[in-house]
Amino acid sequence: MNTNPEKKYVDPVDLEGLEDLLDAAHVKVMTRTQETNLSEDSAVTYFENRSVLELLGRVQEVHALLTETNTRLLGAYERMRQMERLVDHQEKRLELLPALEKQAVRATELQVLFDEALVELERLRKPWWQQISSRRKPR
């Protein structure tokens, strides 16, 4: 025999079963004179109804807060996903950096060779008498 029955967890903000009440909540408004004419049973029912309506109001407030919190959490989650995508993109670019550095060094070497080739080309384009005179540099 089980002396400790399992307790079922009940979520305190669960609105299950209250959909009809939330959709079609209505109140009967009474004047003071009508309240005094109520019998004791009616008064108890009136206060029970009033308590239920106060609780319903609080439930609606909690529901609104939960909805707002959910909206904020979804926004934060979306921003986090965007940041993760940005980080992934930056990591991929960083992986390419060593190869780009090698290409930059190679481009610099090629530029130096190109400049030397242009100087040689200019020297070869000179007429032969200028080539001879440029070989003899004054000391």
- Interatomic CA distance for residues 15 and 59, integer angstroms: 8
pTM as predicted: 0.43
- Interatomic CA distance for residues 41 and 98, integer angstroms: 86
- Interatomic CA distance for residues 83 and 89, integer angstroms: 10
- Please state the domain count of the chain: 1
Domain-embedded: residue 55? yes
Domain-embedded: residue 59? yes
Domain-embedded: residue 1? no
**Who's near 49: CB < 8 A, 6+ residues apart?**
27
| Largest interatomic CA distance in the chain | 133
Domain-embedded: residue 6? no
Per-residue pLDDT of the chain (139 residues; tens, 9 = 90+): 455 555 565 566 666 666 666 666 665 665 655 545 556 667 778 888 889 999 999 999 999 999 999 999 999 999 999 999 999 999 999 999 999 999 999 999 999 999 999 998 988 888 877 767 766 655 5
pLDDT at 23: 66
Domain-embedded: residue 13? no
Domain-embedded: residue 14? no
Domain-embedded: residue 11? no
Domain that holds residue 118: 19-135
Domain-embedded: residue 8? no
